[in-house]
Amino acid sequence: MPPARRRASHSMEAVITEAVALLDEAGEPALTFRALAARLGGGVASIYWYVANKDELLDKATDHVLLAPLADIEPFTNDDGDPIDHLRSIAVTVFDVIVRRPWLGAYFMRNTDTQPNALLLYERIGQQVLRLGLTPRQAFHAVSAIIGFVVGTAADLGQAPPQEVLDGEVDRDDYLAQIVGEWRALDPDRFPFVHHVVDEFAGHDDAEQFRAGLDLLLAGLRLQAEGR
C-alpha cells in the first residue's frame, strides 16, 4: 500500500506572498486557487486552511501590500509642519504604490475588517485633515475626495497598454501620436476645448498630471479650512 500523501505545509505569509506575486504578474484573473496551489507546491484544498474564498484572499493580499506605504508615510503623520504638505506626501506615496499594482485599486478599503492596514491608512490621512479644523462632514468629504482621486487616478494610469502596444505593433509614443492626430482632425467648432489642450496632451507626463490635479484638490481644501 503506497504511503498517504502529506498535505503541503504552508503558512499564511507564504500564501499571501504568492497571491500578491500572481496578482502583480497578471492581475486578478491570474489569481486562482489552482494556480496558487501550484506555486506553493500543494493541493487546492490546502489553501482553504488559510482563507475561506477568493474574496478574502484578495482582501488579505491588498492589506499585505499596504504595509510598505504605511511605513513610508510615517514621517508625514505627526503634528509638525503643514498638514496640506503632509497630505500631499501621503497621497503621492499611495499613488505610486497603486500605479505599480493597478489591481490594488479595486480592493482598497473594500473590507476594513479584513484590511486593518487600509483602515490605518485612512486614519493617517484623516488625522492630518483633523488639523485643518473642519466640521465632521467637511472632514469626511475631504478624506473621501483625496482617496477617491488618488486611487481612481492611479488605477486608471496603471491599466495595461492597448493591445497593439502590447503586441509590439506600435510603441507608446506612436500610439499617442495617433490619438493626437485624430484630435487635431476634429472640427474645432465642435471641439474647441480639445483643440485648446491638444498640444499639452501630446507631451504630457502622467505623474505630473496627477500631481497637478492633486494640488488643485488640496488648494481647495486649504481655502475651505482658511474660510472657517
Q: What is the pLDDT of residue 191?
A: 97
SS3 content of the chain, % helix, strand, coil (to 5): 70, 0, 30
Mean pLDDT of the chain: 89
Share of the chain above pLDDT 70, in %: 90
Taking a C-beta distance cutoff of 8 angstroms, is the pair 22, 37 a contact? no
Rounded to whole angstroms, how far apart are CA atoms 162 and 157?
12
Where residue 133 falls (left for φ over 0; alpha for ψ -120 to 50; beta otherwise) is: left
Domain ranges of the chain: 12-50, 66-160+205-226
Q: What is the pLDDT of residue 3?
A: 39
Rounded to whole angstroms, how far apart are CA atoms 57 and 114?
10
Q: Tens of pLDDT along 63-95?
A: 999 999 999 999 999 899 999 999 999 999 999
Instruction: Indicate the pLDDT class of residue 8, thresholds 50, 70 and 90.
Output: very low
Share of the chain above pLDDT 90, in %: 64
Q: What is the pLDDT of residue 227?
A: 85
Q: What is the pLDDT of residue 197?
A: 94
- Looking at the domain that runs over 12-50, which CATH code has it been given? 1.10.10.60
Taking a C-beta distance cutoff of 8 angstroms, is the pair 98, 153 a contact? no
Instruction: Indicate the pLDDT class of residue 5, thresholds 50, 70 and 90.
Output: very low
- Chain centroid offset of residue 148 CA: 10
Rounded to whole angstroms, how far apart are CA atoms 221 and 147?
14
| pTM of the full structure | 0.85
Fold annotation for 66-160+205-226: Tetracycline Repressor; domain 2 (1.10.357)
Taking a C-beta distance cutoff of 8 angstroms, is the pair 172, 161 a contact? yes
